[in-house]
Structure 1
């Protein structure tokens, strides 16, 4: 199996898509947005899929679509909930290097005012703090590389990701 992809994981709002696009340009790679693949496969917006299928149903769809990504020399930006899908994460780890973009909870609280509108997978009554605690453990479990973005600009984060990839 060829592991020539870079897979970005992390909380909603860390900039996986933003950093992914620029990183792909700099490396001469393709850019793949896993959330857009899901929307394309299902013909609906993420928020509609979550509303219609519930969080568990959405996670099943996300897991299925992400388990089938076949690409080479690509930067793949995943949805924040990708780590709930064991098959998807095993597949993504088999085709690339998984980079966890880590961000401080306070920064995310400032950035993420409207979680539901963003298509964020939240269980009934779950807060951003709950989500952060639950997912951080999973991000750390699956990461090959962790890049802490706290107080970093996009350029600084990009530089840190490139350096970490070269050292890996």
Structure 2
């Protein structure tokens, strides 16, 4: 199986870049969080509020496992998916993991009215510090999201070619 899995901070560009990359290389695209919400018919914020983080993380693992069974897809994970090694083990079996790294300052510049955790730069910094080592540890490739979206997609494709990802 040859999937591409994007990991990184919330608002690092995983969804937008994942969709663009999928169009470019003719893969199907799946946002893991949206897939979970659709399957559960509930918003993640409601799951957290009503059932807690552990319950949500169990669902996240379940649905990442389902997505990892598909072939030739791009999966953008939730920012916290790396908190469970089991999640990474599931997706690594199906393909390559790319850490899409974006500066905290650039994430903070955007409007995050629907994402309360991202509205406070101190909270963003705390999340980043908690997760950066995990992102780097689990990534097969690190790509900096520090250019136009089109150029970041080109960087990813170049890295995939360097890793012989496209060989038959």
TM over 0.5: yes
Deviations 1:7-32 (A, max 9, x none): 01111111111111111111011111
Where structure 2 has 5 or more consecutive residues not aligned to the other structure, the ranges are 164-168
Distance between the aligned counterparts of 1:55 and 1:14, measured in 2? 21
- One of 1, 17, 20 as aligned partner of 1:19: 17
Segments of 4+ in structure 1 off by > 3 A? 117-121
Per the alignment, residue 97 of structure 2 pairs with 98
Q: Secondary structure at the match of 1:68?
A: helix
Per the alignment, residue 165 of structure 1 pairs with 160
CA offset at residue 111 of structure 1?
2.2
Distance between the aligned counterparts of 1:139 and 1:155, measured in 2? 23
Question: Alpha carbon RMSD of aligned pairs, Å?
Answer: 1.8
TM-score under structure 2 length normalisation? 0.88
Per the alignment, residue 46 of structure 2 pairs with 48
**Is the Cα contact below 8 Å between 1:33 and 1:77 reproduced in 2?**
yes
TM-score under structure 1 length normalisation? 0.88
Q: Secondary structure at the match of 2:12?
A: coil
**Is the Cα contact below 8 Å between 2:13 and 2:145 reproduced in 1?**
no
Map 1:45-124 onto structure 2 (within 5 A). Answer: 45-69=43-67, 70-111=69-110, 113-114=112-113, 117-118=114-115
Where structure 1 has 5 or more consecutive residues not aligned to the other structure, the ranges are none
